[in-house]
Amino acid sequence: MPPGESTPRAVLACGEVRTCLLPARQALDIRSAAQLLALRADERVLLSERPGLYARSPDTLTGVDCPLPSANGARIRAVGTVAAHAALTEGRVLQTSAHFRLPATGPDQRRPWGEYLVRPGVVEPLGKLPHEAVAQGVLDGGRHGDLDVGLIADGLLTRLLRHALLDQRPPFRSRPTRLRWAALPAGPGDGPSIERFTLAEDELRTVRLRVPDGTAADLAALCDDLALHDWLLTTVVRVLDGVRLGGSAAQDATAVVRALRPAVDHLLHLWMPRARVAKELAPLWDPLEERPGFSRQWQALVQRIRDQLTLQAIPASHREVEAVP
């Protein structure tokens, strides 16, 4: 970037988050979490113990020079750097996130690499950016050869899952999820809003947002938070779906307790929406609480688990007597 030239205002921000259960029998303590997420020698891992144990790696940068995804088939070449980071919640849930911002216009010719490196996480189009078409192209997944931030997030996740600290013995079986997001500018005077939240196939969620000017830098943390809580809901629903309920035999009660115990030990205390979301973007959680009602569903699941554990604690013979009119 030439001296004195400022970074253009971003009109589009995009990213993808991978969320999974850490493959380790025991949750990592804060020192081990810092060791796992030490992706760069020149920057420290961010550690926090309130309101819960949380560790976030420094950003890593990946240089890109390729076409952008586009819903209308346009071929827009873009050059710059994609930022990626990893986060660990309560030493148990691992996330990797890759994201970038796009200005409305860029130069007609490619700049020297040094001018892109001074703007981390900014990918610059050659010419004018059709931001609506690119936003939809990102959410749709793009074509082969297009910029794919999911591959960058997935590569970082694969690297971390091979770490020597992990014994590859998770306390229960679960599946990872992917959250793909695109954020466009809100109208003058408008607050942040979620235009669409979609649960797609193959564990994919897509989110299309509108955000006020100046909040793009905080979007990655917001989307990490959405992805974490969506994964928690999805995983607990699957734990309950896999439990055989209604049996009266002692072995059935033991199986139910064994199946539900991991959720109690490792997941139920992690529900803290907005705990690490910027104040300006916190209202984006409101529509998710109204419909589909994330926290209402979570509380219903938690109560169902507690009811089942209470029921299974009652001796089978006593339950059978109570069932007789």
The reported pLDDT for the residue numbered 257 is 86
Element (H, E) at 87: strand 77-89
Query: Which bin fits 225, alpha (ψ -120 to 50), beta or left (φ > 0)?
Result: alpha
> Which tokens belong to 44?
């420290």
Residue 122 DSSP symbol: B
Q: Are 20 and 93 in contact (CB under 8 A)?
A: yes
Cα(31)–Cα(33) distance, integer angstroms:
5
Cβ–Cβ contacts within 10 Å for residue 241, how many? Answer: 7
Counting DSSP H helices and E strands in the chain, the numbers are 9, 10
The reported pLDDT for the residue numbered 246 is 57
The residues of the chain scoring below 50 in pLDDT are 1-4, 317, 321, 323-325
pLDDT in tens, 157-202: 999 999 999 999 999 999 999 999 999 999 888 989 999 999 877 7
The reported pLDDT for the residue numbered 7 is 56
Cα(126)–Cα(145) distance, integer angstroms:
17
For residue 47, give every residue at least 6 positions away whose Cβ sits within 8 Å of its Cβ, in sequence order, or none: 30, 33, 34, 54, 55
Within 90-161, strands assigned E span 93-103, 123-125
Please provide the DSSP assignment of 272-294 as one string.
-TTTTS-TTTGGGHHHHHHTT-H
Q: What is the CA radius of gyration of the chain?
A: 22
* Per-position b or e across 143-164, b if 16+ CB within 10 A of its CB: eeebbbbbebbbebbeebeebe
In the chain, % of residues over pLDDT 90: 74
Query: Which bin fits 130, alpha (ψ -120 to 50), beta or left (φ > 0)?
Result: beta
Cβ–Cβ contacts within 10 Å for residue 4, how many? Answer: 5
Cβ–Cβ contacts within 10 Å for residue 115, how many? Answer: 16
The reported pLDDT for the residue numbered 29 is 96
Burial of 219 (0-12, 13-18, 19+ CB in 10 A): buried
The reported pLDDT for the residue numbered 271 is 96
| φ, ψ of residue 80 in degrees (nearest 5) | 160, -150
